[in-house]
Amino acid sequence: MLSQETIQNALRAVHYPGYSRDIVSFGMVQEISTANGKISVVLQLPSTHPETAQKIKADAEHVLSALPGMSGLNVDVRHPVAAPATPENMPEAENKIPGVKRVIAVASGKGGVGKSTCSVNLACALQQLGARVGLLDLDIYGPSIPLMMGVTEKPTISAASRLVPPVAHGVKVMSIGLLMEGDQPVIWRGPMIAKTIQQFLMAFEWGELDFLLVDLPPGTGDAQLSLCQTVALDGGVIISTPQEASLGVVRKGIEMFKQVNVPILGIVENMSYLTTPNGDRMEIFGHGGGKEEAARQKIPFLGEIPLFTEIRAGGDRGTPIVAATPHHAASRVFLQMAATLQKQFP
Report the C-alpha gap between 330 and 320 in whole angstroms: 11
Shared domain check, 131 and 59: no
Q: Please say whether the beta carbons of 64 and 11 come within 8 A.
A: yes
Residue 279 has a pLDDT of 74
Quote the domain boundaries for residue 12: 4-78
Of 134, 105, 115, nearest in space to 212 by CA: 134
Residue 19 — very low, low, confident or very high, per pLDDT cuts 50/70/90?
A: low
Phi and psi of 176, rounded to 5°? -60, -25
Choosing from 78, 104, 136, the residue where a domain stops is: 78
Shared domain check, 339 and 202: yes
Residue 187 — very low, low, confident or very high, per pLDDT cuts 50/70/90?
A: low
Shared domain check, 111 and 46: no
Shared domain check, 58 and 168: no
Answer yes or no: is 83 within a domain: no
Q: What does the pLDDT look like over 216-248, one tens digit per residue? A: 887 656 677 677 767 878 899 999 888 777 777
Q: Please say whether the beta carbons of 275 and 333 come within 8 A.
A: no
Q: What is the DSSP letter of 22?
A: B
The rounded percent of the chain whose pLDDT value lies above 70 is 87
Shared domain check, 246 and 137: yes
CATH label of the domain that carries residue 279 = 3.40.50.300
Answer yes or no: is 261 within a domain: yes
Shared domain check, 229 and 147: yes
* pLDDT over 60 at 86, yes or no: no
Nearest 5°: CA angle at 218, between 20 and 211? 45
How many structural domains compose the chain?
Answer: 2
Q: Please say whether the beta carbons of 307 and 321 come within 8 A.
A: no
Shared domain check, 276 and 140: yes
> How many other C-beta atoms are found inside a 10 Å radius of the C-beta of residue 91?
20
> How many other C-beta atoms are found inside a 10 Å radius of the C-beta of residue 203?
10
Shared domain check, 71 and 115: no
Q: Please say whether the beta carbons of 138 and 295 come within 8 A.
A: no
Shared domain check, 65 and 201: no
Answer yes or no: is 90 within a domain: no
> How many other C-beta atoms are found inside a 10 Å radius of the C-beta of residue 28?
21
Choosing from 29, 51, 78, the residue where a domain stops is: 78
Answer yes or no: is 171 within a domain: yes
Overall average pLDDT of the 297-314 stretch: 91
Shared domain check, 159 and 64: no
Answer yes or no: is 167 within a domain: yes
Residue 181 has a pLDDT of 65
Q: What does the pLDDT look like over 7-18, one tens digit per residue? A: 999 999 998 876
Answer yes or no: is 150 within a domain: yes
Report the C-alpha gap between 205 and 164 in whole angstroms: 5
Query: What angle do the packed helices 115-128 and 309-317 form, to 10 degrees?
Result: 80
Report the C-alpha gap between 95 and 98 in whole angstroms: 9
Q: What does the pLDDT look like over 131-140, one tens digit per residue? A: 999 999 988 7
Answer yes or no: is 266 within a domain: yes
Report the C-alpha gap between 137 and 116 in whole angstroms: 9
> Coil, strand, or helix at residue 112?
coil
> How many other C-beta atoms are found inside a 10 Å radius of the C-beta of residue 304?
18
Shared domain check, 130 and 47: no
Answer yes or no: is 308 within a domain: yes
Q: What does the pLDDT look like over 268-277, one tens digit per residue? A: 999 888 877 7
CATH label of the domain that carries residue 25 = 3.30.300.130
Report the C-alpha gap between 44 and 31 in whole angstroms: 9
DSSP-H helix ranges across the chain:
4-11, 50-65, 115-128, 145-149, 190-202, 222-230, 244-259, 289-297, 309-317, 321-324, 329-343
Q: Please say whether the beta carbons of 78 and 44 come within 8 A.
A: yes
Shared domain check, 121 and 68: no
